[in-house]
Structure 1
Amino acid sequence: MGAATETAPRWYGSREVAAAISPARARALIEAALLDDFDPANDPARVNTPAGGGHLLLMPSVIGAWAGIKVASVGPNNPEHGRPRIQATYVLMDSLTLSPQALMEGSLLTALRTPAVSAVAANKLAAPDAGTLLVFGTGLQAWGHIEAMAEIRTLSEVWISGRSARKVEEMVGKARGLGLAARAAEAGDVENADIIVCATSAGEPLFDGSLVKDGAAIVAMGSHETDRRELDANLMGRARVVVEDVQTALREAGDVVMAIEEGRLDAGALLTLSNLVRGNVARATDRPNVFKGTGMSWQDLAVAVGVHGDTPRNVA
């Protein structure tokens, strides 16, 4: 192996990231990582550090020939200053020399990988003929999840729920632009939905979990804080619950942590996404199926490698 040459890392802006990775491609990259020798349990824990008007998230990971880290900032008051609440940059390196290979706009990378992870889970947890999708949320992640779910199932109806009627109608219009039969959510939709996506910043449960039908697939990805949740303990207790990694969920997933604290969920019953993808776990038909995601560092790395390519280019 020769000496590393001096090559400036390539920059990928949001336009280049979007051009390189479709929702289907992002899903394939996530699934490929889980089917390989990589174990999410070995992923380093997210570092959360108070800083300035918010906090910084540091998310490092190593998968085979690649290493990387996402540096994200969360500014709760940023919208008042005309800035996004979450901003991020990704540094991609080869794992042999840790030489920077690429820098990427990290917010779009996150927007792509999160629904991709959800779609990998939902593809295994939803009924093969699932056709009705209920989405809670009207932001970037809600839209990304609509696109991702439309890739894995033929959706007959999409129902959208949000706090702002204007934003709901805007999302309905975008969904119709994809050729989907979309409308604002109504009372009773929770009972009839085949797939439910929760993509909000809510701190309290969004609906009565007892209304969810057996066999339905529910995705909750709105928080990674132990005191916030989108799903109630009743639903978590009666469902088959899949998480990215058990220890990560116990450390960061409020939906899981609070349900355990309230005596409705047994930590030993938690199942992992890797076992689901590998066929060691199957969806339930006699109860709901929940996937609770918090986001992990390996997911950013898997998609970042797909943006850049799969061959380190500055290691001679």
Structure 2
Amino acid sequence: MDKIKQISNKFIEENTYFLELITELKQSFSSNEVIVPMRHHHDFPNPEVNADSTLLLMPAWNPSKNAGVKIVTVSPENGQFDLPSIQGTYIYFDAVKGSIKAILEAKSLTVIRTAAASALASSYLSREDSSTLLMIGTGALSINLIKAHAAVRPIKNVFIWGRNFNKAVAISEALKNENFTITPIRTIEEKIAEVAIVSCATLSKTPLILGKYLQKGQHIDLVGAYKKDMREADDETISKASIYLDTFQGGLKESGDIVIPLQNETLKKEDIKADLFQLCSNQKSGRNNQKEITVFKSVGHALEDLAAVNYYYNKFINEYNL
């Protein structure tokens, strides 16, 4: 029996080239080969911190090729323990034999593939000349979202806001040597109307992106708010924009950014333009004109994990001549 490969967060972080990974995701979304059942989503009480945690099980199979399942916990109060809110593991299988090929740490895998999916959507939905970005949120996703968007668009100026200004300063310092300038800001309102792309990755239960500030031609990337009672954008944002999802399977059910507008009839299901499967296979088009406001809502999908794991597994095998 072959030895199970152990692929660390460090390896994943040091071997990520966003354009390559985005291409891998695009191919997977366009091929229609991967079977992905609805993920298991279980909230469970965590009385010690007076907030629920969440267990996610995300399986996917490419028949006779490979398969895998990600096991993740999301604990929103982990900041008090100086830990990321997302913890987990990915188990990668040989789909023919059923044997385990590798175990990957899921923290970096998750944030990087999520950022790559947002950038893939942006390649269809943001204006090609988009050179300014507002990043809302200072969690583990923020640095990767900024880098991923900059891989597909000519980003020159980035602004970052978080509830903790010092974290925004730290991220700006971490990215000071990139090919763009990055500036921490104290309020969302001071820049939101001026940028081409707004990316938001938070655990907010109240909207941070308000439609009254949005301007024609902007692209809004909603990545956080993974529960039905969480929201990053208000109803006015939804009503002013063309709406796209990563997948209809999860996007219609899991996040308040879509579920609440559907419930209060701000949004109708038939008004949602497309998901990544349709965009990547050219069944549906993305942005129609320079003045359109577009919104992409991501809740994550096991296809993204499997595609990313294929990418890192192959790099690992080549790196160590295995």
Task: With the length of structure 2 as denominator, give the TM-score of the two structures.
Answer: 0.88
Shift of 1:208: 1.6
C-alpha spacing 1:208/1:80, structure 2 compared with 1 (3 Å):
closer
Q: What is the DSSP-based 3-state SS (H/G/I as helix, E as strand, rest coil) of the residue aligned with 1:260?
A: helix
Partner of 1:30: 25
Q: What is the DSSP-based 3-state SS (H/G/I as helix, E as strand, rest coil) of the residue aligned with 1:183?
A: strand
Q: What is the DSSP-based 3-state SS (H/G/I as helix, E as strand, rest coil) of the residue aligned with 1:218?
A: strand
Aligned residues: 305
Q: What is the DSSP-based 3-state SS (H/G/I as helix, E as strand, rest coil) of the residue aligned with 2:42?
A: strand
Partner of 2:242: 240
Per chain length, whose mean CA-contact separation is higher, i.e. which structure has more relative contact order (CA < 8 Å, sep 6+)?
1
Q: What is the DSSP-based 3-state SS (H/G/I as helix, E as strand, rest coil) of the residue aligned with 2:207?
A: coil
CA deviations 1:109-137 (Å, max 9, x no partner) are 10110000000001111111111101101
Could you tell me how far apart the structure 2 residues matched to 1:52 and 1:66 are?
34
User: Is contact 2:209-2:237 (8 Å) kept?
Assistant: no
Letter in 1 for 2:148: A
Could you tell me how far apart the structure 1 residues matched to 2:240 and 2:77 are?
37
Moved segments of 4+, more than 6 Å: none
User: Is contact 2:38-2:249 (8 Å) kept?
Assistant: no
Shift of 1:50: 4.4
Shift of 1:28: 1.6
Q: What is the DSSP-based 3-state SS (H/G/I as helix, E as strand, rest coil) of the residue aligned with 1:191?
A: coil
Could you tell me how far apart the structure 2 residues matched to 1:77 and 1:196 are?
25
Matched, 1:44 2:37: yes
Shifted more, 245-254 versus 48-57: the winner is: 48-57
User: Is contact 2:66-2:95 (8 Å) kept?
Assistant: yes
Partner of 2:262: 260
Shift of 1:252: 0.5
Could you tell me how far apart the structure 2 residues matched to 1:292 and 1:190 are?
18
Please, which of 224, 228, 238 is the counterpart of residue 230 of structure 2? 228
CA deviations 1:237-259 (Å, max 9, x no partner) are 22111102223112102101111
Letter in 2 for 1:275: Q
Q: What is the DSSP-based 3-state SS (H/G/I as helix, E as strand, rest coil) of the residue aligned with 2:102?
A: strand
User: Is contact 1:215-1:284 (8 Å) kept?
Assistant: no
Instruction: Note the aligned Cα RMSD (angstroms).
Output: 2.1
Please, which of 288, 313, 319 is the counterpart of residue 284 of structure 1? 288
Structure 2 residues not aligned, in runs of 5+:
47-52, 318-322
Letter in 1 for 2:198: I
User: Is contact 2:92-2:100 (8 Å) kept?
Assistant: yes
Could you tell me how far apart the structure 2 residues matched to 1:19 and 1:183 are?
25
Partner of 1:14: 9
The aligned runs of 1:124-273 (5 Å cut-off) are: 124-185=124-185, 187-270=189-272, 271-273=274-276
Could you tell me how far apart the structure 2 residues matched to 1:168 and 1:13 are?
26
CA deviations 1:272-309 (Å, max 9, x no partner) are 11222233212033431010000111111110011112
C-alpha spacing 1:55/1:256, structure 2 compared with 1 (3 Å):
closer
Partner of 2:71: 71
